[in-house]
Amino acid sequence: MPLPSSSNEKWSLSPSILGLLVVSDDSREALQFVFDKIKIYRIHLSSDPSLFCLTKQKQQQIAFMPRKAPNDATEIVSAIQARGRLANWNFLPLIDLSKDQVASHIKESAILLNFCRHEGFGLIVQEAMSAGTIVIGPHGGGGKELIKKTYAFPLGKRTQALLMDYVQLIEEVALDMEKRPTFYQEMGEQASRFIQQNYAEEQEVKDLQESWGKLCEEHNKRLQRLCLQVVVY
């Protein structure tokens, strides 16, 4: 979808686009609001259960991925470390790691911090919840279906004025986790079950098959021509 390069241009979809695939309800609602004539299909992304399996034994470690919001990550973590209330906790940035390394660190960490304020879905959040790791932070829009109070600790759209709120929330959860580890272990297990029930690989495959089937039914002749072009070329 070409975006306008200036205020004088308009958003538009190419006539060759038959439909759109999205990975969150938030994205579907936003795109349907702008492009109300095109069909939009929702795909439930899955995470690898063999990599991000439920892990009950956690370290006093707070993992975070600063790549998408490096300034926010630096600001929040520096503020917490300067205050000194979580001196017994290790902060682990997930940088330049393989998928296996990321999975290993997330599974061993008690908490994952999310900093992204604008997110289409939030795969790292889904993976952490699958592993039973408690997520704290803003949902970024697309992640609001994941970061719910039952399974995580959501923070509203973060602005500079909410720095103290975010820092205090992280401190409160971490310190309470030291006092009530069983409560948070059960919360992590609930989160893992929620992910496995709603974002399983079977569901992702089913969504893709159904979406493609509907596209084929609606645009059968057009798709046949495209297939013939592929064969010819």
Q: Over range 177-186, report the average pLDDT.
A: 96
| pLDDT score at 10 | 66
Q: What letter does residue 113 receive in the DSSP assignment?
A: E
CB of 127 closer than 8 Å to CB of 196: no
Chain centroid to Cα 114, Å, comes to 9
Is the domain defined by 59-196 classed in CATH 3.40.50.2000?
Answer: yes
Domain segments of the chain as ranges = 1-44, 59-196
Predicted TM-score (pTM) of this structure: 0.82
Interior CA angle at 96 toward 115 and 70, to 5°? 30
- How is residue 112 written in tokens? 């994952």
* pLDDT band at 161; cut points 50, 70, 90: very low
Share of the chain above pLDDT 70, in %: 84
Q: What is the mean pLDDT of the chain?
A: 83
| pLDDT score at 220 | 73
Q: Examine the pLDDT at 191 and tell me if it is beyond 80.
A: yes
Q: Over range 73-82, report the average pLDDT.
A: 93
* pLDDT band at 217; cut points 50, 70, 90: confident
Q: Examine the pLDDT at 228 and tell me if it is beyond 60.
A: no
Q: Examine the pLDDT at 131 and tell me if it is beyond 90.
A: yes
More confident residue, 157 or 47: 47
C-alpha atoms less than 13 angstroms from C-alpha of 132 in its C-beta half-sphere: 19
Instruction: Match 């200036």 to its residue by tokens.
Output: 6
Lowest-confidence segment of 26-35, 78-87, 164-173, 185-194 by average pLDDT: 26-35
| pLDDT score at 223 | 62
More confident residue, 146 or 80: 80
Give CA–CA dist 52/107, Å, rounded: 7
